[in-house]
Copies of this chain bind each other. A is one copy, B any other.
Amino acid sequence: MINKITIVGVGLIGGSLARALKEKNLAKTVFGYGRDRSRLDNAKKSNIIDDYSTQIEEAVNHADIIVIATPVGTFRNIFNEVKPLIANDVIISDVGSTKTNIVDIAKEILGDKSQCFVPAHPIAGKEKSGFEASDGNLYNGKKVIITPIEDNSSESIQVIESMWKNVGAEVDFMSPQSHDDLLGMTSHLPHMLAFSLVNYLVDQNPSASIYAGGGFKDFSRIASGDAVMWRDICLQNKDKIITHLRGYQSTVEELIDAIDQEESDKLELLFATAKKTRDSWIG
């Protein structure tokens, strides 16, 4: 059993982990850290965390595990704050949507202590943010990708793996680079496309949504993601996201050509292939 786990940033993702740990009785103390005392107090009153502090020293004191659950743009500051306070046997993990850049920052700032850092990313979310939207079942049946770094001990990797398995997730391992390429494709790309669609539509016709069907509502749901989080993801996974956006533009260009040339068979094939693929993926 975990003695004390500190969640840095008690929002949707951190709050859902906190809830799951408490509901399954996996930690003696689930401790919250953040800047906003009144929000942390509400999270405690909602029984999402056992206790909290706005002082990082108090928050990480005697913690077995520290999970960073703030936007990836804040990691540099958090590593700087945490470094002088941690022993060599603490495990730091995270839930960040990018990995390569974060591993570089961890190595740069934590130095020798970077062996403490076991990077992880649960593939789960909602369009709502904040601990109010948190859900102890959010990770049930979801994938968590752990991207170990060279100096991680097998014990510390196992602790993080067990934690996620115990809250219902399936754990996979891959390199930070593979993670960023894959998620750049399956998550970052669709989000960029959805943000762009909404911005294109409102620019063309501010009342267009009146005539939008259910398809548009589903498609655009992810355009309600948190702006700061997505700004940080773009900056940290810049190269992969641009590569995938350019690749996608080429696919759209091919479609435009087929429509322009009225290539009836090709259009039907493109749509049938997409339908077959999508149905097999989801089914």
The answer to whether A262 has its CB under 8 Å from any CB of chain B is: yes
A76 interface contact, C-beta 8 A: no
How many copies of this chain are found per oligomer? 2
**Is residue A186 contacting chain B, with contact meaning CB distance below 8 A?**
yes
Interface-forming stretch among A39-47, A102-110, A208-216? A208-216
Contact call A208/B195, Cβ cutoff below 8 A: no
B198 touches A186 (CB 8 A): no
C-alpha spacing A210/B187, complex, angstroms: 11
Residues 129-152 of chain A, each 1 if its beta carbon lies under 8 Å from chain B, else 0? 000000000000011010000000
CA distance A60 to B242 in the complex (A): 56
Instruction: Please judge, given known A-B contacts A198-B274, A252-B196, whether A211 and B235 are in contact too, CB under 8 Å.
Output: no
Q: Using CB atoms, name the residue of chain B closest to A179.
A: B211
Residues of B near A192 (CB, < 8 A) are 252, 255
A283 CB to nearest chain B CB (Å): 10
A contacts, CB < 8 Å to B = 123-126, 142-143, 145, 182-183, 185-187, 189-205, 208-228, 230-231, 234-235, 238, 241-242, 244-249, 251-253, 255-256, 259-260, 262, 264, 267-275, 277-279, 281-282
- Give A245's nearest chain B residue, CB to CB: B256
Q: How far is the CA of A249 from the CA of B254 in the complex (A)?
A: 12
Q: How far is the CA of A245 from the CA of B182 in the complex (A)?
A: 26
B267 touches A235 (CB 8 A): yes
Which residue of chain B lies nearest to A221 when distances are taken between CB atoms in the complex? B218
Chain B residues lying within 8 Å of A262, measured Cβ to Cβ, are: 235, 238
Give A255 to B241 CA distance when docked, in angstroms: 11
Contact between chains at B190 and A216 (CB < 8 Å)? yes
- A229–B260 CA distance with the chains assembled, in angstroms: 17
**Contacts A247-B200, A274-B199; A218 near B222 (Cβ below 8 A):** yes
- A264→B204 CA distance, assembly (Å): 25
Chain B contacts of A235 at CB under 8 A?
A: 259, 262, 264, 267
Given contacts A186-B208, A198-B278, A247-B200, contact A218 B216 (CB under 8 A): no
Q: How far is the CA of A192 from the CA of B183 in the complex (A)?
A: 22
Known contacts A223-B275, A227-B275, A278-B224, A215 near B196 by CB under 8 Å: no
| Complex contact B123–A197 (CB within 8 A) | no
